[in-house]
Amino acid sequence: MTGIGHYIIEIARRIPVYAPEMDIQLLVDRPFDEGALPDGCTQVVLGRFVGDFTPLARLYSPLWLNTLVPSYLRRGRVSLYHGTNSVVPLLLPCRAVCSVHDLSFVGLPSAYGPVYRSYMHAQVRVALARSDAVISGSDAARSDLTQALGIAREEVAVIHHGVGDEFRVGHDQDYLDRVRVRFSLPRRFVLHVGIVEVKKGIDTLLDASAGIIRDGLVDAVVVAGRDGLGAREIRDRARELGLDDRAMFLGFVPQELLPALYSLASVVVFSSRYEGFGLPVLEGMASGVPVIAADASSIPEVAGDAAVLFPPGDERRLAEALRSVLGDAGLRSDLVRRGLARVKQFSWAESAAKHVGVYRKVLGIG
C-alpha cells in the first residue's frame, strides 16, 4: 500500500469504535487477504481486479467507479459514500464525503503528462461539486484547494493523519537482524520510503548522497517503495553517479518489515518536492531516527521543529544537512528527542473520531 492505502486502513480500523451504530462497508475489486479486513467492517467485492497501475487498470478504474459503485449504492440503500482519494461517482444516489489529499498535478505539473493533469482537474472538480463535505490531511492541502480550485477554506475540514503503533523504539533485536539479513543492509545507511517517482525528489537524494558515501559517513542509500513514474531515470541517475550497489532499491517492502528498516537507518530523508501530508516523516520520528525533509507544501506542517529542512531539489543543502546530522551526535540526539515528542501530536484514533464527526454532520445525526 501507498500512504493513501494506509490512511484508508487505519481509519477503517477505528471508525467502528467511534460509530458503533454505523455499518461500515469497504468497496473493493478483490477480497482482503485472510485476517486483513479491519474488525467491525464488512467488504463488498465489486467487479474484478485487473492489475495495478497498468493501462487496463487506468481504463477500468473510472468504469468501476461510475457504474459498479453507484449501482451498489442504490441497491444497498447506502446512506453515505466516502471517496477516499479525490474522486466520487458522477451520479451519486446518496450523500458523499470526499478526501482530497493533495493537488500534486497542480503544484508539481512537470511530474505528470498533460492527459493525466486534465483528467485529474476534471475529476477533482466533479468530486468537489458533488460532495457534501471535503476532507484534507493538511492545512497546506486545504490552501491549495482554495487557491487552485476556488473552494472556500471553511468548506474543507483539515484532519491530520496519524502514525501506526508499529513504528516505535525498542524492537526485538532478532527481528531487526532478520530484516537486515533479508535485504543485505549495510551497517550505516540513509533511508527513503515512498514510491520511486519524480515528485519524491529521489534524484536529489542520490546526488546529495554520492559525496557522503564517498567520504565514508554512510555505506549506502536505501530506497523502499515500488516503481512509479520516472523510476527508470532515477535508477539510471544512481548508475551515472557511480553508486551501483551503494544505491539499494528494495522495491515494495511488506508492512511488517518496514518498522525494522526505519529502526536500522542512520537517518531518514523525505525529499519529496510536493506532498499532501508525508507519513514517512512521522514514521521515522516515531522510530527514534533523525529526519531530514524537504521544505515543501505540507511537510513543514508535519515536521514542525523536529526535522532538519532543506529547499526541495537543492542537492547542496541536502548534502550539508546530511553531513551535519551524521557528524554531530548532539544534533542527532536532539532531533530524536524532538521527533518522539512531535509524533505524540498525531493520532489515528483522533483522526478517525474527526472523520466520524464529519459523517454525522453530513447525515444530520449529530
Q: What structural domains and CATH numbers belong to the chain?
A: 3-162+347-363 (3.40.50.2000), 173-345 (3.40.50.2000)
| Rounded Cα gap, residues 219 and 264, in angstroms | 13
What is the pTM assigned to this prediction? 0.92
Q: What residues have CB less than 8 Å from 49, skipping those under 6 apart? A: 29, 30
Residue 4 CB neighbour total at 10 angstroms: 19
DSSP state of 158: E
Render each residue's pLDDT in the chain as its tens digit; 366 residues: 678 888 999 999 999 999 999 999 999 999 999 889 999 999 999 998 888 767 888 789 889 999 999 999 999 999 999 999 999 999 999 999 999 998 887 777 776 778 878 888 888 998 999 999 999 999 999 999 999 888 899 999 999 999 999 999 999 999 999 999 999 999 999 999 999 998 999 999 999 999 999 999 999 999 999 998 889 999 999 999 999 899 999 999 999 999 999 999 999 999 999 998 999 999 999 999 999 999 999 999 999 999 999 999 999 999 999 999 999 999 999 999 999 999 999 999 999 999 999 999 999 996
| Rounded Cα gap, residues 128 and 87, in angstroms | 8
The strand pairing partners of 251, in sequence order, are 224
Where helices occur in the chain by DSSP H, the ranges are: 3-18, 55-63, 69-75, 104-107, 114-130, 139-149, 173-182, 202-214, 231-240, 258-264, 279-286, 299-303, 315-327, 329-342, 348-363
